[in-house]
Structure 1
Amino acid sequence: MDAEEFWQVVERARVAVGPAADRARPEAQSPIAEALVAELTQLTLPEIVEFDRLFGEVRAQADAWDICAACWIIQYGFLSDDGFSDFQAGLVSMGRRTFEAVIANPDSLASHPAVQQISTSVGRSLWIGDEELLFATHQAYEQLTGDAEAFWDAKSAEGTTTRPVGRKPEGDRWDLRNEGEWRKRLPRLGAMFLAHR
């Protein structure tokens, strides 16, 4: 499996979900993760392990301080290692075109319907992060083998490891609480969220 095939699997899951793929959702719901598990169960076991490796590599492309800042803004000032991992997975669930646009320019998230929906929502119950997506490969592998540990054994046997938790994002670090920096570095996102605070 290569990057092109990886994104094709993600896109098939997005198509299966339909318009909900581009909507914000309550944190515990993940229609994309469910659809991705269904897609992954159509692959061979080694392909699932390879998909997981590529998923880690793709998410690592989003280890950038300005993407952390976008997460901070969209999540109303909340950022943790786990929350940022969920956010990166959510970016992948938005599909290749959106993901690559965000890597090139995190402020492009202001154009995404889910982010627009969050910016105008009442309360803080909507989210684009996707924790469940982080476990889709494990779930698919377990469905096919009936063994909850088989996925981890396969990853270990392949020498595949998950990227380190808590890795420092790349780029200039700046105070995420500084709204003046939002306006300078992420002007569209900053304006969108500041208007509704």
Structure 2
Amino acid sequence: MDVDEFWDLIERSGRETDTRRTRVAWLVDDLSRRPVEEIIDYHIWWTTTQNRGCTVDLYAAYWFVFGSGSLDGFEYFVSWLVSLGRETFEAVSDCPDRLIEQPQVLHLLELEDLYANSTKRRPRDPEQMWEERPEFESLAYVAYHAYEQVTGQEPDRLGEAAETRGASSGFPLVPAIGSVPSGEQWDFDDELELARRLPKIARYRNV
């Protein structure tokens, strides 16, 4: 499996299903019908792609746009960003400031604004809320589930197989042991630095 096949699977899973649960199931089913080597290939491309998004500037964009500084949440956000497809992921990972321009992001912010300012708030459907969150943790585990089904081995063996081929994940992030997003670290409280690095997001915050 090459990188084009990897992205084709990610994007087809979105077109073929209408919920996150069915999307994950679709991917697990597809991978489970492939040779083990292709499952490992998929996992390597997933790891490589996630690592590409594990940068301090993308973390800052996530922080400022969605108002969350959770490192676990950032990991799940990167998974969600992958779920949006190759074009969106590559545009935002190459230039995190573009996050605020993405239609999916603007839609989520609009929903939050409508809910926050509604004079007749109604309880939100938990299932719908889950579908709307800019985080997609379970998408990261599809290769593990497929690997376990096909080999009968513990899913952790998949990570070991990928590491023998040089694919090691930058997640989870643990500052205490020096595991942080890659790139030059900067002070998120520095408004001038924010405006320099993420000018569109800085303008959005000041509207």
Residue 179 of structure 1: how far off its partner (Å) = 4.7
Q: Is 1:61 aligned to residue 57 of structure 2?
A: no
Q: 1:79 to 1:5 in 2, by over 3 A?
A: same
TM-score normalized by structure 1?
0.77
SS state at 1:59 partner:
helix
Residue 155 of structure 1: how far off its partner (Å) = 4.3
What CA RMSD, in Å, does the superposition of the two structures yield over aligned residues? 2.7
Task: Pick the structure with more helix per residue.
Answer: 2
Residue 104 of structure 1: how far off its partner (Å) = 1.7
Q: Is 1:102 aligned to residue 106 of structure 2?
A: no
Selected match of 2:24 from 33, 42, 45: 33
Larger radius of gyration: 2
Kindly indicate whether the alpha-carbon contact (under 8 Å) linking 2:65 and 2:100 is maintained by their aligned counterparts in 1: no
Q: 1:137 to 1:184 in 2, by over 3 A?
A: same
Write the distance in 2 (CA, Å) between the matches of 1:152 and 1:118.
Answer: 34
Residue deviations 1:64-120 (CA, integer Å, cap 9, x gap): 21101111123313231x222212211211111111101221121222222112322
Match of 1:139 in 2: 145
Residue 15 of structure 1: how far off its partner (Å) = 1.6
Instruction: Give the alignment of 1:63-82 within 5 angstroms.
Output: 63-80=54-71, 82=72
Residue 156 of structure 1: how far off its partner (Å) = 3.0
Q: 1:179 to 1:79 in 2, by over 3 A?
A: farther
Match of 2:126 in 1: none
TM-score normalized by structure 2?
0.74
Selected match of 2:102 from 104, 109, 112: 112
Write the distance in 2 (CA, Å) between the matches of 1:180 and 1:192.
Answer: 15
SS state at 1:172 partner:
coil
Moved over 6 A (4+): none
Instruction: Give the alignment of 1:121-136 within 5 angstroms.
Output: 121=112, 122=115, 126-136=132-142
For structure 1, which runs of at least 5 residues remain unmatched after alignment? 21-28
Q: 1:162 to 1:31 in 2, by over 3 A?
A: farther
SS state at 1:61 partner:
helix
Selected match of 1:187 from 191, 196, 199: 199
For structure 2, which runs of at least 5 residues remain unmatched after alignment? 117-128, 174-178
Percent of aligned pairs sharing the same letter: 29
